[in-house]
């Protein structure tokens, strides 16, 4: 059990028999009336998000979630195979466990998989990854670092929008949560 004072992003709660992860929360102390906590919760199984407001100090049941560091090995067409770094046990995960971030997976990449009662809930990639540009159209004379964008295909097959000055062969830092270009990495 935890109170609203123990809330933090990533905490998994058990609400009405469902596992809900706190995406974001905000403690609010209005001028009049009692304090309360406004939260955005994501259903761990379905991925749906809901907003919920709690009175300050309310006790909430937390779920026992075990986060394990694992290494992504390969994709076999229907599932993604990861290996526990400590026990060397291999686990098959469906794409929905990774969500949209699966398009940035490279072999031997470190990922964190969350388990509840030995059942995998979801997997998270590092916040940013360095990926090589496999193909992008050349920029035009007079292109600037600010301004337009163009599509680029990365070594994982993912396509993202990049600034016009990016060339084939550049290594880019990409945000795995949003799929956005962050910066060019010096090789």
CATH 3.30.930.10 given to domain 128-184: no
> CB-based contacts of 90: which residues, under 8 Å, 6+ apart?
73, 81, 82, 83, 84
45 or 177: which carries more pLDDT confidence? 177
Does residue 184 register a pLDDT over 70? yes
* CATH 2.30.30.30 domain extents, the chain: 2-62
**Within the chain, where are the H helices?**
95-98
CATH number for the segment(s) 2-62: 2.30.30.30
Query: Sorting pLDDT into bands at 50, 70 and 90, what band is 160?
Result: very high
User: Phi and psi (nearest 5°) for 54?
Assistant: -120, 150
State the Rg of the chain over Cα. Answer: 20
- The pLDDT, as a whole number, for residue 64 is 86
pTM above 0.85, yes or no: no
How would CATH label the architecture of 65-124?
Beta Barrel (2.40)
Range(s) within the chain of domains with CATH label 2.40.50.140: 65-124, 128-184
The pLDDT > 70 percentage for the chain reads 95
Which are the contacts of 121, defined by CB distance < 8 A and separation ≥ 6? Answer: 12, 19, 44, 45, 65, 97, 114, 115
Asked if 20 contacts 71 with a C-beta cutoff of 8 angstroms, the reply is: no
Residue 97's pLDDT is: 85
Q: What is the pLDDT at residue 25? A: 92
């Amino acid at each position: 059990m935890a109170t609203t004072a123990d809330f933090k992003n990533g905490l998994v709660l058990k609400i009405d028999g469902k596992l809900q992860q706190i995406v974001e929360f905000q403690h609010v102390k209005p001028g009049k009336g009692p304090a309360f906590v406004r939260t955005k919760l994501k259903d761990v199984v379905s991925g749906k998000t809901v907003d919920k407001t709690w009175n300050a100090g309310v006790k909430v049941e937390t779920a026992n979630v075990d986060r394990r560091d694992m290494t992504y090995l390969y994709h076999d067409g229907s599932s993604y195979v990861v290996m526990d770094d400590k026990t060397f046990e291999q686990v098959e995960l469906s794409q929905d466990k990774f969500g949209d971030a699966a398009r940035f997976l490279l072999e031997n990449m470190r990922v964190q998989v969350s388990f509840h009662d030995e059942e995998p809930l979801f997997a998270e990639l590092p916040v940013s990854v360095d990926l090589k540009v496999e193909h992008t159209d050349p920029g035009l004379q007079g292109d600037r670092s600010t301004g337009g964008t163009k599509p680029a295909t990365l070594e994982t097959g993912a396509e993202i929008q990049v600034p016009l000055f990016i060339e084939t062969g550049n290594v880019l830092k990409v945000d795995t949560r949003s799929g956005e270009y962050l910066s060019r990495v010096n090789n």
